[in-house]
Amino acid sequence: MSAESNPWPELDWSAWERTASTLHMWTQIVGKVRLALSPMQAHWWNVPLYVSARGLSTSAMQTAGEMLDIEFDFVSHELHFRLSTGAALSIPLRPQTVADFYLEFQQCLTLLGVDARIHPMPVEIKDPIRFDLDTKHASYDPEYAHRFWRVLVSADQIFQKFSSGFIGKISPVHFFWGSFDLAVTRFSGKPAPERPGADAITREAYSHEVISAGFWPGNGGYGEAAFYCYAAPSPTTLADAKVQPAAAYFDSKMGEFLLRYNDARKQASPENTVRAFLESTYAAAADKAGWDRAALERH
């Protein structure tokens, strides 16, 4: 099976970290336009991107009485701008600085008559550099961008199936460009105590009890791609829970269950392995947190 068609390709962080770091900034630029053009929703559900048939999309956004969507195409390696008027523009995804990408991006919005003013400072990363001044991040390896998207497609499909068994409040499966991860979050329906030291973003995100699962490609200091699951607030004895598969474990430093991507992709059925991880970690967290599972789950 070629890397292009493999739903579980190799995704070694050291091999594509520079591309991922650049792409992280590019997705933040696009994501901030979604934030600017979308009305506020609970838990910041108005800001993420979504896995599409070719990459990552904003979905349709309102602008001056029309609809706009912006899509990273990791098949043809282009960024597409599409208006409901029929107007469209595309720019190639290729090695270039974040500053150059930001300038070209803004020029496209201007040509399309889209007024979306965004704050040019990245979020949720160490030592942020303004988009218009960032000449540090300038890598783009199309093969690894495509591999990343293939993993997101596989994870998105599993998360969608996992979501179908929950009838309580649940988020869409969405890609948060701030933390650069794909996630789906379940809610108990109960308010949560405010997190110590929480800022406005965190207060909104964790205003209610949640169990969240997702996938990240290795950023944030972990250094390799992994699936995760955590509860907020976290039960004090959550680390003692036994979960599946055997390779999964609770990382006490990060406060969440982890399953390394490489441990999953090497199994006979990566999908069943990831699904077992999602189901068992959710069950462990829900039981220890005292969730009313009978009322929240489809039987």
**H helical segments located in the chain:** 13-37, 98-111, 142-163, 200-205, 261-265, 270-289, 293-296
Find the Cα–Cα–Cα–Cα dihedral 243, 246, 252, 257, rounded to 10°: -50
Q: How confident is the model at residue 1 (pLDDT cuts 50, 70, 90)?
A: low
pLDDT in tens, 202-222: 999 999 999 999 999 999 889
255 neighbors 231 (Cβ within 8 angstroms)? no
156 neighbors 182 (Cβ within 8 angstroms)? yes
Radius of gyration from C-alpha coordinates of the chain: 19
170: helix, strand or coil: strand
Residues 6+ away with beta carbon under 8 Å from 291: 188, 209, 211
Signed CA dihedral, 218, 222, 228, 234: sign only: negative
pLDDT in tens, 239-295: 999 999 999 999 999 999 999 999 999 999 999 999 999 999 999 999 999 999 999
Whole-number Å distance between alpha carbons of 110 and 263: 46
Quickly count: other Cβ atoms within 10 Å of residue 223's Cβ: 11
Please report the pLDDT score of residue 67 as a whole number. 98
Q: With a cut of 80, say whether residue 5 has pLDDT above it.
A: no
Task: State the amino acid at position 254 in one-letter form.
Answer: M
124: left (phi over 0), alpha (psi -120 to 50) or beta: left
Contacts 24+ apart (CB under 8 A), 201-206: 201/44, 204/42, 204/43, 204/44, 205/43, 205/44, 206/232
The proportion of the chain whose per-residue pLDDT surpasses 90, expressed as a percent, equals: 95
pLDDT in tens, 180-199: 999 999 999 999 998 888 89
pLDDT in tens, 130-167: 999 999 999 999 999 999 999 999 999 999 999 999 99
Contacts 24+ apart (CB under 8 A), 110-114: 112/68, 112/81, 112/83, 112/87, 113/64, 114/33, 114/63, 114/64, 114/68, 114/83
Please report the pLDDT score of residue 124 as a whole number. 94
Q: Where in the chain are the domains?
A: 13-133, 142-296
Q: How confident is the model at residue 79 (pLDDT cuts 50, 70, 90)?
A: very high
pTM: 0.96
Mean pLDDT (whole number) for 51-65: 97
| Mean pLDDT (the chain, rounded) | 96
Q: How far is CA 218 from its chain centroid?
A: 12
Please report the pLDDT score of residue 3 as a whole number. 52
Task: State the amino acid at position 41 in one-letter form.
Answer: Q
CB half-sphere exposure, 257, CA atoms < 13 A: 34
Burial level of 103, CB count in 10 A (0-12/13-18/19+)?
Answer: middle
